[in-house]
Chains A and B, each alone.
Chain A
Amino acid sequence: MKTQEINGEVRSTRFKQKKLIARTIDDELLLFDEETSNAHCLNGIAGEMWMACERASTAVEVADVLRTQWPDMEKEVVWASLSRMAAAGLLEETIDEENISTARRDLIRKIGLTAAIVLPIVVTSVLIPSPAAAASCASFGQSCATKPCCPGAGLGCVAGFCVNLH
């Protein structure tokens, strides 16, 4: 029964890349979500999975693509990996609601993620400070607790904030 349910999920769920900034660093895929300021680093195989979702694809279709490099790739493993990436906000997930109910979907996801499937993917997520926080100096109204007020603009650090002094 569980196997049938997973098969249904594997065939009825489609995954599509979210609009993220993607770059290859070392042999990993870096994805940056500017909306949430979250960066995610995917290892080689996870990166390939994400890249294979350029158009909405099922786990079966993605597994077919991956088998050129990893012949033993199981569609269930791909599905569980893609679900995990979707949960991390890297993929959009669409499900044929006629075929599978939300309750079943949740159940199957739970089974998929907690069963003895060892996922080959590694996702490292990092929250990125805003560009203003990375700037070399603080401008008017910004905190000067950890960086100086920008010189030349007549700013001074008062009570922890840059204010105009002349």
Chain B
Amino acid sequence: MMRPDRFMLFKAENGAVAAVVLAGSWRRPSPPPEMPREILTKVSSLLIAGGGAALTWFRIRHHKSEFSQSVLNPYREAYIGSAASAAAHEVELDRLLQALNAAGIRSILLKGWSVGRLYPESGLRPSGDIDLWIDPAQRAQASEVLKRVASGRQSVDLDHDQFRRFENRSFDDFYASCDTVYLGSTPIKVLRREDQTRILCLHFLKHGGWRPIWLCDIAVLLESSNTAFNWELCLGSDARRARWVGCTIALARDLLGTRIPRGAPRCVTSSPPGWFTRTILREFSNPSASNATSFALLLPELSFHPWRLKSAMRGRWRNPIQATVDCNSAFDELPRWPYQLWDGIVRTHRCLRSFKQLA
């Protein structure tokens, strides 16, 4: 388990605490809490915002006598909410997949239920969008089907830039190696464990490591089977991206105590760079994600509120992870500020260009 250094304790203490609370919480039986109630109270809002509150309840619910009702209630309510949302999510997912299957449309379910089903209980992670990757040749047909059958209560996301950005394999290639799992009697295609681990890691990085539950997803997936894990498939042929994925898995090990499958190569076993861990802990400490608003809108904003320069600037930088990924750069020990600066310039230029086009 990781020992936070002084910088972390100063900048990201709550994030480190949240990670300690979540470590191993998905296992059955979950580890005893062994933490003072002040800790749970302190990080409750972080864990609720970060999606880890239901999982925390799963960890502490058999130790209720150790905590007061005021400590327990937010976690229990989050768990009830999460379980209810998951139930509604499953009903809608079943309806949509039945319709798509009946129309002969090939789809792959990404994230969400495809990893939520691996937790010991439904509803231990929050349910958001239904993320479906549709055969590109059937996209229009799928949209028609979904328009007809979707209840509108759950949003369905068919756009996944991640594959365009990070993968050179086709839909057919992924689809051919998918596992088929069942929701009730409805067959659902999900990525095989190696592909899904990779996709979850890249998704986590793309969002700058914002939500602790996404790291738990990776941990749950890695521990979901005792069968041999094909590291080559998971890490891919691009050495730089293999290191990105490797660092994320190493982080899941260091922060959450994840058991890594055997045979991991060096890009997984070696420690991630210090800036990487620090950024993640800072993100875990921040209940709302950094918005990285446009630089081009800095001047109009400052003309109204010039005294807000410092906070306005702070909200405009992508975090070191996002900036590095956006620049397609290496996870090494070099400083990150050049990437952040470059990312800011690129985004500002892009924004000014779009203003010019509008004018």
Given contacts A21-B84, A21-B87, A32-B88, contact A151 B350 (CB under 8 A): no
Chain B neighbourhood of A106, CB < 8 A: none
Interface status of A117 (Cβ within 8 A of chain B): no
Q: Tell whether B289 is near chain A: CB-to-CB under 8 Å.
A: yes
Cα–Cα distance between A166 and B356 once the two chains are bound (Å): 10
Chain A residues, Cβ within 8 Å of B162:
152
Min CB distance B216 to A, Å, is 14
Which stretch of B3-11, B204-212, B328-336 is in the interface? B204-212
A145 at interface, CB cutoff 8 A: yes
- B234 interface contact, C-beta 8 A: no
A54 at interface, CB cutoff 8 A:
no
Residues of B within 8 A of A146 (CB): 49, 287-289
Contacts of A53 in B (CB 8 A): none
Segment among A60-68, A94-102, A123-131 that sits at the interface with chain B: A123-131
Asked whether, in the complex, the Cβ of A145 is within 8 Å of the Cβ of B83, the reply is no
Specify which chain B residues have a CB less than 8 angstroms from the CB of A144 in the assembled complex.
291, 293
> Considering the chains assembled together, what is the distance between the CA atoms of A41 and B210 in angstroms?
31
Q: How many residues of A contact B (CB 8 A)?
A: 36
Choose from A23, A131, A149, A152 the contact partner of B128 (Cβ within 8 Å). Answer: A131
Shortest beta-carbon distance from A21 to chain B in Å: 5
- Distance between Cα atoms of A122 and B127 in the complex (Å): 26
**Is A157 positioned at the interface, with any CB of B under 8 Å from its CB?**
yes
Q: Which of B73-87 contact A (CB under 8 A)?
A: 76-77, 79-81, 83-85, 87
Interface size range of chain B in the complex: 35 or more
- State whether the Cβ of A4 lies closer than 8 Å to any Cβ in chain B: no
CB atoms of A131 and B89 under 8 A apart:
yes
Binds B, one of A43-51, A77-85, A107-115, A132-140: A132-140
| CB of A1 closer than 8 Å to a CB of B | no
**Residue among A22, A41, A130, A134 having the largest count of chain B Cβ atoms under 10 Å:** A134
Q: Which of A124, A131, A157 has the most CB of B within 10 A?
A: A131
With CB as the reference atom, state the residue of chain A lying closest to B315. Answer: A157
B293 A156 Cβ-Cβ under 8 A: yes
Q: Mark B266-297, 1 if CB is under 8 A from A, else 0.
A: 00000000000000000000011111111011
Distance of B159 from chain A, by nearest CB (Å): 7
1/0 contact string of B150-163 vs chain A (CB within 8 Å)? 01011100010110
* Cβ distance A8 to chain B, nearest Cβ, rounded Å: 36
Given A23-B87, A147-B288, A166-B354, check contact A30 B80 (CB 8 Å).
Answer: yes
A153 to B159, CA, bound (A): 9
Q: How far is the CA of A81 from the CA of B89 in the complex (A)?
A: 30
The yes or no answer to B103 lying at the interface (CB within 8 A) is no
CB distance from B142 to the nearest CB of A (A): 19
B292 in contact with A157 (CB, 8 Å): yes
Would you give the shortest CB distance from B104 to chain A, in whole angstroms?
27
Residue A34 CB within 8 A of the other chain: yes
Would you call B123 an interface residue if the criterion is a C-beta within 8 Å of the partner chain's C-beta atoms? yes
The reply to whether A151 and B293 contact each other, CB–CB distance below 8 Å, is no
CB distance from A63 to the nearest CB of B (A): 28
Q: Do B155 and A128 touch (CB < 8 A)?
A: no
Instruction: Give 5 new A-B contacts, CB below 8 A, not counting A25-B79, A137-B207.
Output: A32-B87, A34-B88, A124-B80, A131-B127, A136-B129
Sample of 17 A–B contacts (CB below 8 Å): A34-B153, A124-B76, A124-B80, A129-B81, A131-B85, A135-B129, A135-B155, A136-B129, A136-B211, A146-B289, A147-B289, A151-B161, A156-B294, A157-B294, A158-B294, A165-B351, A166-B353
> Which 7 A-B pairs have CB atoms at the shortest separation, nearest pair first?
A152-B161, A39-B84, A166-B354, A32-B84, A135-B128, A157-B291, A146-B288
Chain A residues within CB distance 8 Å of chain B: 21-23, 25-26, 30, 32, 34, 39, 41, 124, 126, 128-132, 134-137, 139, 144-149, 151-153, 156-158, 165-166
